[in-house]
């Protein structure tokens, strides 16, 4: 009986030990699993922190790189932008004081006016030079102005263009031609907006209000095209200043506004009669009007046109240039 009880007791002890052993095994697995979860959580947090920190460092580095420019670099960048903006807003038109090819419009106007009225006589220059000012009215035209500019460029000659505002406004491409005139070193002056005699000179009398309105309108348009640094004070009245009455009332207004009036004292005749003279006739007219000034003529303002229908002026221009060169003239502009 004792042996039987002992066996039962031993059996129960073994069962308990096995149960406790199993329980300990389960607890170890749970602890291990829990530990693994903790490790994964901590590891994931560490990775996230590292990545986040790395991103912040990159941003900080980029920020430092941006803010650690060399002294003056940011300023230079701004200057570069400003310079580019200035280029876009400025045609490169050369002012009188910087233009070695230009003479003062005030001086040229006084000489021309004095010669026309008989108050001055050749020679009028004090430097011993013979100078001709090639001037072109009524342009720019998309047909003839480009060829005129090509010829002038070939001869390395600068001219003065008396621009009509309506020509700029009405014809596509005319604005680019005005820019080309400026960039190639020519002088640009004002020749009214409409060239309408009835509006500018009703009953052949200068209407100074109408004239100034057109003068300002054309100047504003040219400034819009050429940029804020462009300005001109030189004007040619359509038909010529001395052709019209009412000058005594107009002149004080012009003087008050600093406007210099430049007419002409020789021409090729491309606007006379039908305006269809042959190139040979234009050259002959040139020689006739220049030689009429006498052998001492040393300052000649020469009138031509570069508007539509003046193809023969283009054809005659090289011969006209050669004629003036043969007479010892140099070519200058009026500003």
Q: Is the peptide bond before 123 cis (omega within 30 degrees of 0)?
A: yes
Q: Which two tokens stand for residue 76?
A: 């230079």
Strand partners, 304: 136
Looking at 103, 137, 298, 306, which residue is catalytic? 137
Asked whether 320 and 136 are in contact (CB, 8 A), the reply is: no
Going by C-alpha positions, the residue among 206, 278, 284 that lies closest to residue 247 is 206
State the sign of the Cα–Cα–Cα–Cα dihedral 174, 179, 180, 184.
positive
In 133-196, which ranges are continuous DSSP H helix?
A: 145-155, 165-170, 174-183
Separation CA 276–CA 162 (nearest Å): 21
> Would residue 89 show up in a list of annotated catalytic residues for this protein?
no
Asked whether 319 and 279 are in contact (CB, 8 A), the reply is: yes
Looking at 186, 191, 195, 305, which residue is catalytic? 305
> Would residue 229 show up in a list of annotated catalytic residues for this protein?
no
Catalytic residue annotation: 137, 305
């Amino acid at each position: 009986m004792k042996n039987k009880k002992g066996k039962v007791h031993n059996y129960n002890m073994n069962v308990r030990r096995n149960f406790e052993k199993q329980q300990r095994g389960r607890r170890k697995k749970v602890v291990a699993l829990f530990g693994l979860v903790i490790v994964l959580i901590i590891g994931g947090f560490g990775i996230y922190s590292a990545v986040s920190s790395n991103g912040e460092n990159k941003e900080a580095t980029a920020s430092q790189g941006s803010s650690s420019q060399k002294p003056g670099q940011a300023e230079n960048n701004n200057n570069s932008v400003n310079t580019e903006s200035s280029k876009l807003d400025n045609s490169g038109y050369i002012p009188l004081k910087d233009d070695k090819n230009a003479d003062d419009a005030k001086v040229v106007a006084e000489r021309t006016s004095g010669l026309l009225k008989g108050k001055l006589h050749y020679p009028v220059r004090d430097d011993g030079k013979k100078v001709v000012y090639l001037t072109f009215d009524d342009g720019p035209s998309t047909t003839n102005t480009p060829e005129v500019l090509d010829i002038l460029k070939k001869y390395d000659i600068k001219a003065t263009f008396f621009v009509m505002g309506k020509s700029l406004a009405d014809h596509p491409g005319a604005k680019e031609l005005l820019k080309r005139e400026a960039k190639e070193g020519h002088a640009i002056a004002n020749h009214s907006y409409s060239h309408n005699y009835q509006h500018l000179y009703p009953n052949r009398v200068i209407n100074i209000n109408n004239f100034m309105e057109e003068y300002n309108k054309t100047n504003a348009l040219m400034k819009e095209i050429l940029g804020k640094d462009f300005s001109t004070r030189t004007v040619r009245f359509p038909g010529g200043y001395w052709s019209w009455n009412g000058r005594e009332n107009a002149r004080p207004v012009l003087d008050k506004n600093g406007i210099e009036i430049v007419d002409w004292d020789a021409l090729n005749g491309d606007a006379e009669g039908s305006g269809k003279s042959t190139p040979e006739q234009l050259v002959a007219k040139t020689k006739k009007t220049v030689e009429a000034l006498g052998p001492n003529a040393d300052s000649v303002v020469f009138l031509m046109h570069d508007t539509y229908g003046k193809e023969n002026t283009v054809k005659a221009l090289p011969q006209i240039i050669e004629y003036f060169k043969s007479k010892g003239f140099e070519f200058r502009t009026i500003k």
